[in-house]
Amino acid sequence: MLSISRCNLVARLSLNRVPCAALSSRWKSSVPSQKQDDDSGSGEDGIKISTKPSHLRLEKRSPLMKNMFIGVVDTDLLVYPESLNRDEQSRVVSERESLERIVRTSEPKDLPQKLRQAGVFGLQSPLNHGGKQLIETELAYFNEIISKDFATGLISGQHNAIVQLLNRFGSDQLKERCMEALSSGNQTVASALFEEEAPNGTMFSTIASQDVDRRQWLLSGTKSFVIDGDKAGYLLVLASTKAMEQISAQDTTITAFLVDANAKGVRKSAATETFGLEDVKQVAVSFDNVEVGDENILGKEGSGAEVLVELLKSTRVQTSVLGVQLMKQLLNNLTKYCIETKTGGGHIMDIESVGEELAKATCSIYAAESMIYLTTGLLDDFVGQDAEIEAAITKVFTAEKLMEMAIQPLRFVGPQALTKGHPLEVLFRNSVQFFGQTETIDSVKFFVALSGLQHAGMATHETIRKDRNPAMNPSHVISKIFEKNTIDNPKQFVNLEHFMHPSLDPAAHWIEFSIQRLRLATECVLSRHGTEVIGRHIELIRVADMAVLIYAMLATAARASRAYCIGLRHAEQEIYLANTFCQEGHEKVRVLAKQLEQGQFITTDANNMSLSRYLFKQKEYFFEHPLTKNF
């Protein structure tokens, strides 16, 4: 029904209750323990790994969130993952302790270099090149510590993701040339993806033209906002490709190149400061017929979209870890301030509105953290698992909640929160930098919505066809009239309460009703617009927001259920939090679904669009001053 290439989309932009013991072990058993033949050690000078057993994975499962657009739930994935077996858990905890000692004993100005020496730029590099070969769950666990230096966390995050792509897609010649230097951190690699100039008939305005005789490509174009580009030794560049036989044809493919940043024809602009990353610069990089050999291609010619998918899948999850750590720092600073600061009638912490905001912030942090490790579990525990939507949703939720928290100090603390060098001022800058870094949140939401709608369109194309042609399908129309399962009154269909602890019955019901509303709203949107839904951006944002809320609710409830079943500290509060979060999320989903059902003429969408068109026509704010007279 909705035929959109996934890669092109990314380039653009049982009835009995399950016993608690079974709940806590179902996912855990999916990753069997493997005996370690060799020991690994960790020292104060860094992370040291001599050997590392392979992490065992199960066969690929059907996509979790995409299936929710058609009302299908894989109940086996409702159990919160325990991706690391006992041996892996013991190993990673021991390795992280050495990193914690470095962070704890280093001066802030020395911390970036100390972290580099500790091997944080080789966390996902292969062992035979001096790397650590961490899986996504382990990397997220380490990034919690690395993020103490936010700039290093962001730079090493993109570096490790690209090195992992190099190991997976790079040629042997390319690996031999640069893998060891990248793994050691002696050289870094930055992603050069963003372009200010709009492409003309191609996916990227940066073009790579093929020179068959010399077995190389000529790269021309400009990439902007390359973080740490002034220091990077290599650049990951995505370019539209022109093979010789297509030299006059419109480009339809993109290719990923690993380019030497010091090659002839590569020019970097003067480095400019970023808003939030202290001592980190961004540059624009231009390529003037830069010669790039075939061996520098990641994957093969035309497979750049696949490389981009894998890059975004990893970086979206891992950068979310940095976002959660910023949220924790904000919450801890605000909590301390509210406890220690008095106002006219007592302590600030006694003000109900302040307590409510901090409680909501706590829920947001818990939900974001739960989403991260649920997503890394999907990526680690199943071979080639389709978790692109889950990764994108995690990034959206974390970024939006972080921005909400970042402005709270302006409400509670006042002007001193903006004093240069104040801890809250630094956190505010880093939060804004995180929100706008690498990609816009709306573009990620479009990806989430269109991916889900495409999946639903292919699965329910016959139903959508009948909905869009009622005159030829009268019996179908009549059956819809008497449909008892509606957005206003959704019905249970899978009994999610049987797969969570009984204390989470309310949360299970709210999640199930929300999934039903997502399915019904998806069918409504596709029936109304068909393939033209691609241009209905307001409705796409609403669909994405519903998916984000549902995944957050699901991750929160699943984590709380596991915590209570295995008897973790504060588990009762986790149950309380999960039920509260799901109740609020369910209500937001209901409102969004109702707006999608009503359409643009019952909501204010059409009026807002009319007003915006007039604004663009006038090219500025156009209303007369309130004191203007017309007589």
DSSP H or E segment with residue 242: strand 234-242
- Residue 207 confidence (pLDDT) above 80: yes
Q: What is the CA radius of gyration of the chain?
A: 26
Mean predicted confidence (pLDDT) in 182-210:
86
Task: Specify whether the CB–CB gap between 290 and 235 falls below 8 A.
Answer: no
* Cβ-based neighbours of 2, under 8 Å, separated by 6 or more: 450, 453, 454, 456, 457, 458, 526, 530, 531, 533, 534
Give backbone dihedrals phi and psi of 346, rounded to 5 degrees, phi first: 140, -155
State the chain's mean pLDDT as an integer. Answer: 87
pLDDT band at 407 (very low <50, low <70, confident <90, very high): very high
Q: Where are the alpha helices (DSSP H) in 385-472?
A: 388-406, 408-412, 423-436, 441-459, 461-468
pLDDT at 44: 43
pLDDT at 421: 86
pLDDT at 35: 42
Nearest to residue 258, comparing CAs of 217, 213, 289, 222?
A: 217
- Residue 1 confidence (pLDDT) above 80: no
- Residue 15 confidence (pLDDT) above 50: no
pLDDT at 31: 46
pLDDT band at 544 (very low <50, low <70, confident <90, very high): very high
Q: What span, in angstroms and rounded, lies between the C-alpha atoms of 187 and 178?
A: 9
pLDDT at 291: 93
Which of the two residues, 116 and 16, has the higher pLDDT score? Answer: 116
Mean predicted confidence (pLDDT) in 68-74:
94
Beta strands in 279-374 (DSSP E): 281-293, 297-298, 342-343, 346-347
Task: Specify whether the CB–CB gap between 492 and 512 falls below 8 A.
Answer: yes
Which of the two residues, 61 and 277, has the higher pLDDT score? Answer: 61
pLDDT band at 7 (very low <50, low <70, confident <90, very high): low
Mean predicted confidence (pLDDT) in 93-116:
91
pLDDT at 273: 81
pLDDT in tens, 585-618: 999 999 999 999 998 889 999 999 999 999 999 9
One-character DSSP codes across 55-95: PP-BPPPPPHHHHHTTT---GGGGSPP--S-HHHHHHHHHH
Mean predicted confidence (pLDDT) in 258-264:
94
Share of residues in the chain with pLDDT > 90 (%) = 65
* Cβ-based neighbours of 342, under 8 Å, separated by 6 or more: 348
pLDDT band at 452 (very low <50, low <70, confident <90, very high): very high
pLDDT band at 20 (very low <50, low <70, confident <90, very high): very low
AA letter at 295: E
Task: Specify whether the CB–CB gap between 476 and 466 falls below 8 A.
Answer: yes
Helices 352-381 and 304-340, axial angle in degrees (round to 10):
150
Which of the two residues, 370 and 344, has the higher pLDDT score? Answer: 370
pLDDT in tens, 123-175: 999 988 888 899 999 999 999 999 999 989 999 999 999 999 999 999 999 99
pLDDT at 462: 87
pLDDT band at 41 (very low <50, low <70, confident <90, very high): very low
pLDDT band at 546 (very low <50, low <70, confident <90, very high): very high
pLDDT at 46: 54
pLDDT at 65: 96
Q: What are 6's two structure tokens?
A: 């996934």
Q: Domains along the chain?
A: 106-184 (1.10.540.10), 189-300 (2.40.110.10), 306-437 (1.20.140.10), 442-614 (1.20.140.10)
For the chain, helix (H) and strand (E) counts, in that order, are 20, 13
- The residues pairing with 267 across neighbouring beta strands, listed in sequence order, are 286
pLDDT at 251: 46
DSSP H or E segment with residue 268: strand 266-268
Nearest to residue 545, comparing CAs of 404, 439, 396, 435?
A: 396
pLDDT at 402: 96
Mean predicted confidence (pLDDT) in 239-268:
77
Helices 304-340 and 150-169, axial angle in degrees (round to 10):
160
Q: Encode burial over 329-363: b for 16+ CB neighbours within 10 A, e otherwise.
A: bbbebbeebbeeeeeeeeebbeeeebeebbebbbb
* Cβ-based neighbours of 301, under 8 Å, separated by 6 or more: 210, 241, 243, 253, 255
pLDDT at 74: 92
pLDDT band at 19 (very low <50, low <70, confident <90, very high): very low
- Residue 309 confidence (pLDDT) above 60: yes
Residue with the two structure tokens 């929300």: 514
Residue 133: DSSP 8-state: -
Look at 148-162, 233-247, 448-462, 466-480 and tell me which has the smallest mean pLDDT: 233-247
pLDDT at 481: 75
Mean predicted confidence (pLDDT) in 16-40:
41
- The residues pairing with 47 across neighbouring beta strands, listed in sequence order, are 42
507-510 long-range contacts, Cβ below 8 Å, gap at least 24? 507/553, 507/556, 507/557, 507/560, 507/578, 507/579, 507/581, 507/582, 507/583, 508/557, 510/553, 510/582, 510/583, 510/585, 510/586
pLDDT band at 201 (very low <50, low <70, confident <90, very high): low
pLDDT in tens, 498-532: 999 999 999 999 999 999 999 999 999 999 999 99
- The residues pairing with 177 across neighbouring beta strands, listed in sequence order, are none
| CA terminus-to-terminus distance, the chain | 58
pLDDT in tens, 326-349: 999 999 999 999 999 888 778 889
Nearest to residue 274, comparing CAs of 497, 481, 114, 431?
A: 431
Which of the two residues, 471 and 532, has the higher pLDDT score? Answer: 532
AA letter at 215: R
Q: How far is CA 557 from CA 137, 140, 529, 602, in A?
A: 19, 21, 34, 34
Task: Specify whether the CB–CB gap between 412 and 338 falls below 8 A.
Answer: yes
- Residue 551 confidence (pLDDT) above 80: yes
Look at 22-31, 127-136, 421-430 and tell me which has the smallest mean pLDDT: 22-31
Q: Where are the alpha helices (DSSP H) in 486-536?
A: 505-529
One-character DSSP codes across 532-581: GGGG-HHHHHHHHHHHHHHHHHHHHHHHHHHHHHHT-TTHHHHHHHHHHH
pLDDT band at 271 (very low <50, low <70, confident <90, very high): confident
